[in-house]
């Protein structure tokens, strides 16, 4: 923004704009709200945009208010013809016009879209980078069957980031794997509503629901004997699968359910398939193991 030929007042305004907007926008998303004291709509918008800016501060969003009466040159550079006018700026350039947004929901939707596309430096993004290897370790430990240790890892992450959905979901699944369904349910009920619908939390809820149907320590020998006498004993296959799940042997559990589906996919209104899908949800729909089992299921269903 050139200053040649400007008055001292305009030069000062340009310097302030560079300091307050241009420089911070090199790493943050700066919302520039053009307003005036006499503007009624500006006063209506002010508490909304200030609340949103505070809510998104840890994601690298900064609000700067520019009074058009006191900064006419700045407003003219942005061709502001009516107020309120709100621009989002990154690295010194306007990246979005947010003027049409009037509600908190509209601002959240637009900001989420913008932040997903820009390399904004923020506390949240740095924390996410720091937590990523810890979350990966927790998942690895849980997959190995060391449920107690996995619970400890996920609990430590939750202490660092109490609202991290992945850590909370990991705690739920670890508790479910340990058979502590009441404790898991209590944790689930205490999760804030704004993250309760996150995929990781829903996966944890599915783990609790599945764990409630399982009985740890079931002797599989009698069930295997029943199957040896009658290979079409679907009740035995279902119970055997549940016993394997309770013991953490998901391969054997899936084998039993797939065997039942292959023999009679309509048994008890598709009960075996429904149980298999619950297992998929708990493990994770994008997990390579689940993808492999889905291919086996498709081969049966479409054979």
| pLDDT higher than 60, residue 1 | no
- Report CA-CA distances (Å) from 57 to 23, 53, 122: 17, 6, 8
| pLDDT higher than 90, residue 240 | yes
Q: Is 302 helix (H, G, I), strand (E, B) or coil?
A: coil
Say what the pLDDT of residue 4 is. Answer: 54
Q: Which residue has the higher pLDDT, 222 or 2?
A: 222
- Report CA-CA distances (Å) from 120 to 22, 60, 212: 14, 6, 43
Please give the structure tokens belonging to residue 160. 């660092």
Burial of 165 (0-12, 13-18, 19+ CB in 10 A): buried
With cut-offs at 50, 70 and 90, classify the pLDDT of residue 48: very high
Task: Report which secondary-structure segment, H or E, holds 125.
Answer: helix 123-144
| pLDDT higher than 70, residue 29 | yes
- Whether 42 sits among the annotated catalytic residues: the reply is yes
- Report CA-CA distances (Å) from 173 to 78, 111, 150, 154: 52, 32, 9, 10
User: Among 21, 31, 39, 89, which one carries the catalytic annotation?
Assistant: 39
The mean pLDDT value for 200-229 works out to: 92
Read off the pLDDT of residues 268-289 as tens digits, 9 standing for 90 and up. 999 999 999 999 999 888 889 9
Say what the pLDDT of residue 5 is. Answer: 61
Q: d(Cα 107, Cα 298) in Å, to the nearest integer?
A: 43
Task: Report which secondary-structure segment, H or E, holds 135.
Answer: helix 123-144
User: Among 14, 29, 32, 42, which one carries the catalytic annotation?
Assistant: 42
Average pLDDT of the chain is: 91
Say what the pLDDT of residue 2 is. Answer: 53
Say what the pLDDT of residue 236 is. Answer: 95
């Amino acid at each position: 923004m050139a200053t040649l030929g400007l008055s001292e007042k305009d030069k000062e305004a340009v310097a302030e704009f560079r300091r307050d907007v241009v420089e911070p926008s090199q790493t943050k998303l700066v919302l520039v709200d053009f307003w005036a004291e006499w503007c009624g709509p500006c006063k209506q918008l002010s508490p909304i945009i200030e609340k949103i800016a505070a809510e998104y501060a840890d994601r690298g969003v900064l609000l700067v208010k520019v009074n058009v009466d006191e900064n006419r040159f700045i407003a003219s550079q942005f061709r502001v013809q009516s107020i309120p006018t709100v621009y989002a700026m990154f690295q010194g350039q306007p990246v979005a016009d947010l003027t049409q947004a009037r509600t908190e929901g509209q601002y959240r939707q637009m900001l989420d879209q913008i932040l997903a596309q820009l390399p904004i430096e923020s506390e949240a993004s740095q924390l996410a980078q720091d937590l990523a290897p810890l979350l990966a370790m927790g998942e690895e430990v849980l997959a190995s069957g060391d449920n107690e240790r996995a619970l400890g890892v996920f609990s430590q992450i939750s202490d660092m980031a109490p609202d991290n959905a992945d850590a909370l979901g990991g705690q739920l699944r670890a508790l479910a794997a340990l058979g502590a369904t009441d404790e898991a349910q209590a944790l689930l009920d205490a999760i804030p509503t704004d993250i309760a619908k996150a995929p990781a939390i829903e996966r944890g809820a599915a783990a609790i629901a599945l764990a409630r149907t399982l009985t740890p320590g079931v002797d599989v020998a009698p069930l295997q004997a029943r199957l040896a006498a009658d290979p079409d004993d679907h009740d035995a296959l279902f119970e055997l699968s549940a016993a394997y799940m309770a013991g953490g042997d998901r391969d054997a559990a899936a084998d039993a359910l797939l065997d039942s589906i292959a023999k009679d996919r309509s048994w008890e209104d598709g009960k075996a398939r429904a149980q298999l899908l619950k297992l998929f949800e708990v493990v994770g729909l994008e997990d390579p193991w689940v993808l492999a089992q889905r291919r086996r299921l498709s081969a049966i269903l479409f054979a």
